[in-house]
Amino acid sequence: MKINFTVNGRPAVVETRPDQMLVDVLNGLGCASVRETCGIGVCGTCTVLLDGEPVSGCLLLAPLAHGRAVTTVEGLGGEDPVQIAFAEAHAFQCGYCTPGMVLASKRLLEENAHPGEEEIRLALAGNLCRCGSYVKIVEAVQRAAERKEDPWTS
Amino acid sequence: MTDSRVTGSARYAQDAEQPGMLHARIVRSPFPHARVGSIDPTAVPAGCVVLLPDDIRGLGRYGVQVRDQTVLALDRARYAGDPVAAVAAATPRESEEAAALVLVDYEELPAVVDVLDAVRPDAPLVHAAHEVSSSQAAYFGLRPENGTNICHRFRIRHGDVEAGFAAADVIVEETFTTAGAQHAAMEPHACIARWQDGTLEVHTGSQTPFNLREELAGIFALEPDQVRVVCPPMGGSFGAKTFLRTEAIAAALSRKAGRPVKLVLPRDEEWQTLNRHPAVLAVKLGASADGTLLAKQVTCYADTGAYADCGPGVAQKMGFAAPGPYQIPNVSVDACCVYTNTPPNGAFRGYGQMQSAWASERAMDLLADRLGLDPLELRLKNVLREGDRYCTGETMHDIHFAECLEAAAAAIGWRHGRTGKGLSVVLKGMQTPSRAAVEIEAEPDGTYVLRCATTEMGQGAIRAISLLAAELLGVESERVRFPSPDTTLVPYDTRTTSSRSTYMMSRALEAAVRDLGASGGRRGHGEIVDEGGLDPDTGQGVASSHWHQGAAAAEVRVDEDTGKIEVVRLHAAIYAGRVVNRPGAELQNEGSMIMGLGTALFEQVVLADGQVANANLSDYAIPSAADLPQRLTHQLLERQGAEPHGLGETALPPVPPAIGNAVASLDLHVTDLPLTPEVVLGAVDRALGVRT
């Protein structure tokens, strides 16, 4: 079946099986940062934003993205305050979970401009980092919150 | 330029592609022990390639310390998950569907799935005999016990333990256990293999490019230079991606298919590929009334699963870490590596030493309790100091155990009250003997290329080694490039394990920079060798050319109704020598502590009828941000003029015993990891029994 949607602001038309998962379709479109790893929607590695809401690409049937807007970390352009804050805070080791972590953090900051440490820990509990970079990830989110406030950097 | 890890442009082994490649899927035994009968692949669609036992019958056996493995199980499957066949197809989905159509006849055999059952005289034998490997990773004398499930027994014999116990005023005895654990790197095992003109090329996430090259050459009867191993960055490893894992199956399939074959493990198969050794450790510790340690006897059983892998080395490290960082005049250790019909267990961050630290440091608190001494004072009284000799006979240099302990204790306010608080201190060996080499190539544009076999798995080796090289060369680090290791281009290195790379490569780099200057400035070669090793029958020699040292302190609250432990405060003090890359060093400490927290509180591989029952990231929980202690802090102890000390693992082993000792300070006697609510409630019941 055919689905029409936008990926990182660009329209895309894709022929897909009805039981295809979104992660596979995005990989086919060159969004390599979205990787299936747990396969059951618990690790957050394949997090993408669907109309701005975080979803697990390994659980969402691709046809459900029809008519909607998908954002992956490739679509943030590299200068997003959250991306910059993650780099400045050294909030990653292997970096495999980072795309999902960045997107989940971005959504958190839209909901809550100044989350406390505990709120950040809970909001990111669905994004697993086996390297255990959480201390610096929390710092990165706080740094991104400050960065978004600062008119000179946002 | 923003880091590739935040822009989504980072690429891992899993992302590698080659034109015309097929995707592989493994067919695995559902039984822990079974005779493999006929295999019928006729239902597999045309166009798929099926690898069967007969295809690999003529290939060599492998196994880095015991040669106990074949590319597919031949005739006998030894664990639930043992590969018996494999399929390659055009897409991952087609290979998954095709693999389900391969029909295998099995005849179940008696299985042994518990390590203590496996050492009973009447236990079923997992392997009839134990053939010691001649590989470069069989670096110590192996002592297999044929006719039993013990494939290596390591001993320490130091002083006279019987005399020591006879002289002791107090003796404590206890048996401790630790559960199996899964590395759960976010990136699964992934490789791609292809053949060209009789040579084999493998791109794989691996910590051990040269060990892998040697194993593949042995299996396919090739010269080492007919095997090329390229190691892109990994999305985590923690020991999982060491030695040969899935690469031989991909290579054999590729040879049969005449096309490149890619193999990415589905998540559940990670648990069927490699886990951490569950262990049972029996400890007897004797001291005089003033707390002077007089004798220690430890027997360790490390469950290596159905294939030894580096299990003998794990048992040996468990054994030589078991005495703990203390001056003890009489020591006797037996550490056994034991086969069971369970998935293979191998290298896991801080290998062997977490298990020993749990037993050793819990025993120290039991002793302190019996003696009525402060656990910190008992440790400080006995801890190894500069110039002391360890029970292996080696003299200890650059020793900071007391400093680490004092720092950890101070961080949780130890001297202001000890209820709900616990301490631990550990020594951790580094791979010894060990060899490292690096080449520096000066490019015409003023940049330098490092030819170095150290692989990147998130531990920050590329950054640390590049910074060291830049400093020695007197250039900006941007002018140093560090391409992914390729065995056709880089000099031999033992492997990227045991927190050895920054330390070893820092010294190899110094030699390479000197050589660069001496040889005209175009190319410099540096190589260093650390000699050493232990006599497996006495444990005498040099266990480690360089000791990793650390202490941890924890403060907990325990809900005695639910058994839930809340870690309020967790601190680690780790000796770093010289810090090369501060953010990277901090991340390694934090990551090790968080992994230690998972080990302490909830991580365990659960078996049911010999099968892994929790092979997914929902039933097997790993720590999330929400699991962090209220306060998690750490410090890197530095010393002017010191060499860099590896930091990749040291902060993991001290965490479980620090938490266990904190729980024990509440009169809850715990001996088994992880400290699940069930374990804690058992301790509560025992304590109530004592109280009433």
Q: For the segment B479-489, what is each residue's pLDDT rounded down to a tens digit?
A: 999 999 999 99
**Cβ-based burial of B476 (10 A; exposed 0-12, middle 13-18, buried ≥19):** exposed
Mean pLDDT along residues A70-87 = 96
Q: Largest alpha-carbon pair distance within chain A?
A: 47
Structure tokens that stand for A102 in this block: 């960045």
CA dist., res. B304 & res. B293, Å (int): 32
CB B544 within 8 A of CB B150: no
CATH topology of domain B434-530: Aldehyde Oxidoreductase; domain 4 (3.30.365)
Domain definitions of chain A by residue range: 2-75, 77-149
CATH number of A77-149: 1.10.150.120
B4-109+195-260 architecture in CATH?
Answer: Alpha-Beta Complex (3.90)
**Among residues 345-404 of chain B, which lie with CB inside 8 Å of chain A?**
none
The candidate with the shortest Cα–Cα distance to A12, out of A73, A69, A72, is A69
Task: Please tell me the predicted confidence (pLDDT) of residue A153.
Answer: 52
Parallel/antiparallel/unpaired status of strands B49-51 and B22-28: unpaired
**Among residues 256-275 of chain B, which lie with CB inside 8 Å of chain A?**
266-267
CA dist., res. A108 & res. A124, Å (int): 8
- Using CA atoms of B308, B310, B313, B318 in order, give the dihedral in degrees to the nearest 10: -80
The candidate with the shortest Cα–Cα distance to B106, out of B29, B215, B220, is B29
Between chains, do A87 and B584 touch, taking CB under 8 Å as contact?
no
Structure tokens that stand for B189 in this block: 């095992």
Block residue for tokens 């895309």: A12
CB-based contact (8 Å) between A39 and chain B? yes
Task: Please tell me the predicted confidence (pLDDT) of residue A147.
Answer: 83
Task: Please tell me the predicted confidence (pLDDT) of residue B691.
Answer: 60
Task: Please tell me the predicted confidence (pLDDT) of residue B327.
Answer: 98
The CB-side HSE value for B196 (13 A sphere, CA atoms) comes to: 8
CB-based contact (8 Å) between B467 and chain A? no
User: Cα distance from B480 to chain A (closest Cα, Å)?
Assistant: 20
Task: Please tell me the predicted confidence (pLDDT) of residue A154.
Answer: 43
Task: Please tell me the predicted confidence (pLDDT) of residue B128.
Answer: 94
Within B73-118, residue ranges assigned H as helices are 92-99, 115-118
The candidate with the shortest Cα–Cα distance to B407, out of B237, B272, B230, B589, is B589
A83 contacts in chain B (CB < 8 Å): 2, 6-7
Q: What is the DSSP letter of B232?
A: -
Task: Please tell me the predicted confidence (pLDDT) of residue A148.
Answer: 76
CB-based contact (8 Å) between A144 and chain B? no
CA dist., res. B299 & res. B146, Å (int): 19
Domains B4-109+195-260 and B434-530 share a fold: no
CA dist., res. B549 & res. B545, Å (int): 13
Q: What is the DSSP letter of B644?
A: B
Beta bridge partners, B569, equal B555, B631
A2-75 architecture in CATH?
Answer: Roll (3.10)
Amino acid at A54: P
Q: Residue B617: closest CA among chain A residues belongs to which residue?
A: A38
CA dist., res. A134 & res. A115, Å (int): 15
Indicate left, alpha or beta for B238 from its phi (over 0: left) and psi (-120 to 50: alpha): left
A37 contacts in chain B (CB < 8 Å): 186-188, 235, 267
Task: Please tell me the predicted confidence (pLDDT) of residue A149.
Answer: 72
B618 contacts in chain A (CB < 8 Å): 38, 40, 42
Domain definitions of chain B by residue range: 4-109+195-260, 275-431+538-691, 434-530
CA dist., res. B31 & res. B79, Å (int): 6
The CB-side HSE value for B528 (13 A sphere, CA atoms) comes to: 16
Between chains, do B625 and A87 touch, taking CB under 8 Å as contact?
no
Q: Residue B349: closest CA among chain A residues belongs to which residue?
A: A131
* B625 → closest Cβ in A42, A93, A125: A125
B188 contacts in chain A (CB < 8 Å): 37
Amino acid at A70: V
Between chains, do B591 and A132 touch, taking CB under 8 Å as contact?
yes
User: Cα distance from B590 to chain A (closest Cα, Å)?
Assistant: 7
CB B402 within 8 A of CB B468: no
Q: Classify A98 as helix, strand or coil.
A: helix
Q: What is the DSSP letter of B664?
A: H
- Rounded to 5 degrees, φ, ψ at B515 are -65, -35
Between chains, do B8 and A87 touch, taking CB under 8 Å as contact?
no
Q: Residue A31: closest CA among chain B residues belongs to which residue?
A: B8
CB-based contact (8 Å) between A58 and chain B? no
**pLDDT, chain B, mean:** 97
Residues 6 or more apart in contact with residue B406 via CB below 8 angstroms: B380
Residues 6 or more apart in contact with residue B689 via CB below 8 angstroms: none
> Omega before B30 cis (within 30°)?
no
Between chains, do A74 and B7 touch, taking CB under 8 Å as contact?
yes
> How far is the CA of B325 from the CAs of B156, B349, B401, B548, B619, in angstroms?
15, 19, 7, 11, 36
CA dist., res. B637 & res. B549, Å (int): 10
The candidate with the shortest Cα–Cα distance to B361, out of B391, B403, B304, B405, is B405
Beta bridge partners, B435, equal B529
**Among residues 1-30 of chain A, which lie with CB inside 8 Å of chain B?**
none
| pTM > 0.90 | yes
Amino acid at B638: E
CB-based contact (8 Å) between A42 and chain B? yes
B10 contacts in chain A (CB < 8 Å): 33, 95-96, 98
Between chains, do B626 and A125 touch, taking CB under 8 Å as contact?
yes
CB-based contact (8 Å) between B591 and chain A? yes
Beta bridge partners, B422, equal B554
B626 contacts in chain A (CB < 8 Å): 121-122, 124-125
* A93 → closest Cβ in B11, B184, B458: B458
Between chains, do A78 and B593 touch, taking CB under 8 Å as contact?
no
* B3 → closest Cβ in A87, A122, A127: A87
Between chains, do A131 and B184 touch, taking CB under 8 Å as contact?
no
Residues of chain B with pLDDT under 70: 1, 690-692
Between chains, do B11 and A92 touch, taking CB under 8 Å as contact?
no
CB B433 within 8 A of CB B138: no
Between chains, do A95 and B624 touch, taking CB under 8 Å as contact?
no
> Omega before B674 cis (within 30°)?
yes
User: Cα distance from A67 to chain B (closest Cα, Å)?
Assistant: 24
CATH topology of domain B275-431+538-691: Aldehyde Oxidoreductase; domain 4 (3.30.365)
The candidate with the shortest Cα–Cα distance to B448, out of B518, B529, B528, B509, is B509
Between chains, do B9 and A93 touch, taking CB under 8 Å as contact?
no
**Among residues 183-222 of chain B, which lie with CB inside 8 Å of chain A?**
183-188
B186 contacts in chain A (CB < 8 Å): 37, 43, 45, 94, 96-97, 128-130
Q: Classify B87 as helix, strand or coil.
A: strand
Between chains, do B624 and A138 touch, taking CB under 8 Å as contact?
no
Between chains, do B628 and A135 touch, taking CB under 8 Å as contact?
yes
